[in-house]
Amino acid sequence: MKRRAVLAAGATVAGSVAAGATLGATADGDPGPRPPSPAAETAVETGALRPGTRRETPYFEVGSGDGGPTAVVVGGVHGNEVSGYRAAERIAEWEVTDGSVVVVPWANVVAVRRNEREGPDGDLNRQFSIGGEPETPLARSLWALVAAADPDVVVDLHRSRGIYGTHGRWVGQALFPTAAGDATSDADAVADRVNEAVVPASMWAHRFRRGNTLRGTSPLLMHKVSADLDTAGVLVELTEVYLDVDTQVRWTELIAERLLSRHGIERRGSAI
């Protein structure tokens, strides 16, 4: 991983935990998103996207500190998809024993604070033009971080209303791989593993499956990862149907853990 490049992509390094602590202060008194506590044995370095603006949001790097594979995990691209950013918060607190993970828990921090899908510039996940510059400063900043990390795998955490293949246009309980690397087989293997581990057999509609492959046909972050970086990645979608938020978070974190493990990135205290 190009650690220096990653750090250069964000503006602020060191002391950002303190900066992050004020991140969530909102007018209505809601404390909002909070930064994770640095795990004792894990290297945590932080920076920020869009520093000095209302859209400033921190990112965290957790890793073994001895090189190895790198992953980028993004949550909060849609501000109302709580399980995605809460799972990312938990990942930022992992003790990673092999490799490293760059975590952006609240990519669209304004939308997260408002608990709305879109931020002031619209839907962040429709601003990653394929083959060119992303359309807005926040999208460009996030893309610069992802590209500079030179990741082995990218994971984007989301939540849908309905279930993929069951409820019309909804895409929950599915893993959408990029066309690069072994992302397709990773998605299949992780879906099977997670189904076996945590999804009860009698919850047949909630069993995870692989969605269609992302090949760069839409201006979504993971489509761009596939087409422009030619990097393995998975867009993870949970559902809100029947699942409480804590379960959504647990399962999302577990999927991320298994995906990263397939790329040699291991955490201490695996959930499975």
Partner 1 sequence: MTTGGDDVASESDGGPGADRGDAIADRGDAIADRGAWWVVVAGPGVVCLFSLLTVPLVLGTLDARLHSPLAAPGYALFVALTVVGERVVPQFAFRLYWPPFLFCSYGVAVAGAGVGRACLCGSERLRGTARE
Binding mask 235-254 for partner 1 (x = CB under 8 A): -----xxxxx-xx-------
Give yes or no for residue 167 binding partner 1 (CB under 8 A): yes
Number of residues that bind partner 1 (CB under 8 A): 20
Q: How far is the CB of 247 from partner 1 (least distance, A)?
A: 4
Q: How far is the CB of 20 from partner 1 (least distance, A)?
A: 30
Distance (Å, rounded) from C-alpha 221 to C-alpha 180? 14
Q: How far is the CB of 209 from partner 1 (least distance, A)?
A: 15
Q: How far is the CB of 240 from partner 1 (least distance, A)?
A: 6
Distance (Å, rounded) from C-alpha 157 to C-alpha 238? 8
Q: Which segments of the chain does DSSP mark as H helices, in order?
A: 3-9, 16-21, 82-91, 109-114, 137-149, 183-198, 221-224, 245-261
E strand or H helix that includes residue 112: helix 109-114
Among 166, 195, 213, 218, binds partner 1 (CB under 8 A): 166
What count of other Cβ atoms lies within 10 Å of the Cβ of residue 255? 25
Pick between residue 243 and residue 265 the one whose CB is nearest to partner 1: 243
Q: What are phi and psi of 113, to 5 degrees?
A: -60, -35
Tokens 């400033």, located at residue: 56
Q: With contact defined as beta carbons under 8 Å apart, do 73 and 101 qualify?
A: yes
Pick between residue 168 and residue 269 the one whose CB is nearest to partner 1: 168
Give yes or no for residue 161 binding partner 1 (CB under 8 A): yes
Using the contact rule CB under 8 A, the part of the chain among 11-19, 57-65, 150-158, 164-172 near partner 1 is: 164-172
- What token pair was written down for 78? 């849609």
* 34 three-state secondary structure: coil
Beta pairing, strands 57-63 & 96-98: unpaired
Pick between residue 140 and residue 167 the one whose CB is nearest to partner 1: 167
Residue type, 19: A
Binding to partner 1 in span 193-222, by CB under 8 A: 198, 200-203, 205
Q: How far is the CB of 249 from partner 1 (least distance, A)?
A: 11
Q: How far is the CB of 160 from partner 1 (least distance, A)?
A: 10
Q: With contact defined as beta carbons under 8 Å apart, do 71 and 152 qualify?
A: yes
Binding site for partner 1 (CB under 8 A): 161-162, 166-170, 198, 200-203, 205, 240-244, 246-247
